[in-house]
Amino acid sequence: MASNSAKSAPKKEAEELNFFKNASALFEKAADHLTLEAGVRTVMKTPDREVTVAIPVVRDNGKLDVFTGYRVQHSFVRGPAKGGIRYDRHVNLDEVRALAALMTWKCAVVDIPFGGAKGGVVCDPRELSQRELEAITRRYTSSILDVIGPDRDVPAPDVGTNEQTMAWLMDTYAMHVRSASTAVVTGKPIALGGSRGRTEATGRGVMLVTREALKRHKMATKGQRIVVQGSGNVGGIGARLLMEAGHKILSISDMYGAIYDKKGLDMVDVLAYLSKHKKLTGYPKAEALSHEEALELECDVLVPAAIENQITLSNVDRIKTKLIVEGANGPTTPQAHKRLEERGIPSVPDILSNAGGVTVSYFEWVQDRQQYFWSEEEVNRRLEEVLVRSFHDVVDTAQTHKTDYRTAAFILAIGRVVSVYRMRGIFA
Ligand code: NAD
């Protein structure tokens, strides 16, 4: 008996952390609420198209290496597919499939006219030179060229890719189609048709959704004690904007550890230190904490904005917050989420609270197509409009279906995709 449970414990843990399985479980729960029939469930779960490509590249040392690239286009039902490209040594087809489906639901939650996609190349960008990265990006782009385009599928940056990667992708596409088709990709440099406000968009969205959730839960919209995990594009910018909105950032972390000040951190100073030293370690004006200590601090709002699977069955009972706003994708496992609900701690789910990025990507695509560019104020005003409306759509759905915000966000999203699918009918 004892040896059996000892053996099954790690297996159980691995099951809890399986991203693909977790995404499927969320889908099924929402589909049950919508009483979707089996056939439609299968259509909604099955990616429209999956492309796997071989990417031969001559390395700097003269050797020829072949990398593997994926592009999974989950859905075109509501518009062109949309989703990032990830360069990471652990990328695999199951992960890309799950992320592509999540993009479909994320675009539908905020009601922007896109489907969902995701791409990936199995490589470690930190081990590649700029020339090698450019060669991989251009060959990958030319291999998926037939299935992308402003009306087909519009990629964007993700883990391991950035503005430069998008500029190479856009240029490769432009060379092939013989036109400067800037709308083929978002997350580009502003000089190349990028949008003002895109860099801050996801963090700004986290700040806006936090404000709406505080109002909804009758908590003050200033002066809350907030713990943020992750100090990158989402966590760092989100924490600064939350501080500027009048909250106290008790703690923020990066992959090396966390810092803490019970009087509240000066996020402008912290981010200046981070940009100079590349890590928070050694920040002189705060106390150092471990990752666990930071995540388990007593606070009013917890914002996990680093990586997936951070709140799990192994630590959920030590989380001491009143509200969770998910900046990262998948920071809470479904099992931990269930436990948080039992404990009365609401979570604003990732597909809503980090949708600011894809919303401004949509604005970038619109601006590129019009060749008319908006001011940052205009971008921020429209972003606020979309996120406030979407937050209330999710709250209304939660009330109608007597469920939590996460399930409600999936019900809303899947319901929107299914309704368009039924209107369009099945092409045979
Ligand atoms: P990033 O690479 O800019 O930052 C990630 C941060 O997390 C870094 O500070 C890193 O040091 C930190 N980190 C890594 N491991 C950690 C750990 N164990 N504990 C604490 N901190 C840790 O990435 P990002 O763009 O900020 O993305 C963060 C998350 O948000 C990811 O899940 C990403 O998929 C999601 N997301 C990002 C965007 C966007 O527009 N950037 C949009 C939607 C979702």
Residue 169 and residue 207 share a domain: no
Grade residue 428 by pLDDT with cuts at 50, 70 and 90.
confident
pLDDT at 2: 35
Q: Which atom of ligand 1 is nearest to the CA of 258?
A: 20
Residue 207 and residue 177 share a domain: no
* 252 three-class SS: strand
pTM of the model: 0.95
Quickly list H helices, 297-375. Answer: 334-342, 350-353, 356-370
pLDDT tens-digit series, residues 310-355: 999 999 999 999 999 999 999 999 999 999 999 999 999 999 999 9
Residue 173 and residue 243 share a domain: no
In a domain, 373, yes or no: no
Instruction: Tokens 């989380």: give the residue.
Output: 319
Catalytic residue among 118, 263, 278, 322: 118
Q: What is the dihedral of CA 284, 290, 295, 298, to 10 degrees?
A: -70
What average pLDDT does range 416-422 have in this prediction? 97
224 lines ligand 1 (CB under 6 A): no
- Residue 191 confidence (pLDDT) above 60: yes
pLDDT at 10: 65
* Residue to mutate, 207, 233, 353, ligand 1, most ligand atoms under 8 Å from C-beta: 233
**Torsion over CA: 413, 415, 417, 420 (sign):** negative
Grade residue 17 by pLDDT with cuts at 50, 70 and 90.
confident
Residue 342 and residue 256 share a domain: yes
Q: How far is the CA of 58 from the centre of ligand 1 (A)?
A: 31
pLDDT at 8: 47
CA dist., res. 247 & res. 224, Å (int)? 5
Strands 257-260 and 287-289: antiparallel
Q: Answer yes or no: 118 catalytic.
A: yes
pLDDT at 28: 96
pLDDT at 109: 98
> Which residue CA neighbors atom 15 of ligand 1 most closely?
255
CA dist., res. 329 & res. 304, Å (int)? 9
Residue 327 and residue 231 share a domain: yes
End-to-end CA distance of the chain, in Å? 55
CA dist., res. 58 & res. 230, Å (int)? 35
In a domain, 297, yes or no: yes
* Both structure tokens of 307: 């990586």
pLDDT tens-digit series, residues 37-56: 999 999 999 999 999 999 99
CA dist., res. 128 & res. 144, Å (int)? 21
Residue 135 and residue 209 share a domain: no
> Which residue CA neighbors atom 24 of ligand 1 most closely?
233
pLDDT tens-digit series, residues 144-167: 999 999 999 999 999 899 999 999
Instruction: Tokens 């989100």: give the residue.
Output: 238
359 lines ligand 1 (CB under 6 A): no
Q: Of 328, 353, 378, which residue sits at a domain end? A: 353
AA identity, residue 318: R
In a domain, 146, yes or no: yes
In a domain, 26, yes or no: no
**What residues does 311 pair with on adjacent strands?**
332
pLDDT at 164: 97
305 lines ligand 1 (CB under 6 A): yes
CA dist., res. 297 & res. 326, Å (int)? 17
232 lines ligand 1 (CB under 6 A): yes
Q: Which domain holds residue 233?
A: 201-353
**Domain total for the chain?**
2
pLDDT tens-digit series, residues 285-302: 999 999 999 999 999 999
Sheet of 153-157, strands arranged across? 49-58, 64-75, 116-122, 81-88, 153-157
Grade residue 9 by pLDDT with cuts at 50, 70 and 90.
low
Residue 172 and residue 104 share a domain: yes
In a domain, 192, yes or no: no
In a domain, 41, yes or no: no
pLDDT at 23: 87
In a domain, 289, yes or no: yes
Strands 116-122 and 64-75: antiparallel
Residue 261 and residue 174 share a domain: no
pLDDT at 7: 44
Find the helix packing angle between 356-370 and 198-216, rounded to 10°. 130
In a domain, 212, yes or no: yes
pLDDT tens-digit series, residues 397-407: 999 999 999 99
Judge whether 216 and 226 are in contact, CB under 8 Å: no
255 lines ligand 1 (CB under 6 A): yes
Instruction: Assign residue 147 the CATH number of its domain.
Output: 3.40.50.10860
Q: Of 335, 353, 371, which residue sits at a domain end? A: 353
pLDDT tens-digit series, residues 65-118: 999 999 999 999 999 999 999 999 999 999 999 999 999 999 999 999 999 999
Residue 210 and residue 138 share a domain: no
Grade residue 387 by pLDDT with cuts at 50, 70 and 90.
very high
Instruction: Assign residue 338 the CATH number of its domain.
Output: 3.40.50.720
What average pLDDT does range 212-222 have in this prediction? 98
What average pLDDT does range 247-271 have in this prediction? 98
Strands 153-157 and 287-289: unpaired
Q: Whose CA is closest to 233, among 295, 297, 156?
A: 156
CA dist., res. 35 & res. 92, Å (int)? 32
Q: Percent of the chain scored above 90 by pLDDT? A: 93
